[in-house]
Amino acid sequence: MQETSSVLRWAIGGLLLLAVLAFLVLFLPALKAQMKYDSISRDYEDDGDRW
């Protein structure tokens, strides 16, 4: 009984780790693109103020 519970714990831990990795792989590029877009739009606003 104890062996199966430890195996189950390992399986759940592995699934959680995979979920976190998938989340990072999928959402980090989107977050970086969003931040880049925000900085670009800010630069455009600065240019507008200068002109």
| Residue 46, in any domain of the structure | yes
Percent of the chain with pLDDT over 70: 75
Percent of the chain with pLDDT over 90: 39
Q: How many domains does the chain have?
A: 1
pLDDT in tens, 14-36: 999 999 999 999 988 888 888 78
Residue 34: which domain range? 24-51
Q: Residue 41 region, left (φ>0) first, then alpha (ψ -120 to 50), else beta?
A: alpha
pTM for this predicted structure: 0.50
> What mean pLDDT value characterizes the chain?
81
Asked if residue 8 is part of any domain, the answer here is no
In a domain, 6, yes or no: no
- Residue 50 within any structural domain of the chain: yes
Asked if residue 44 is part of any domain, the answer here is: yes
Residue 2 within any structural domain of the chain? no
9 within some domain: no
Of 38, 20, 29, the residue nearest 12 (C-alpha): 20
Give me the pLDDT at residue 8, please: 94
Residue 40 lies in a domain: yes
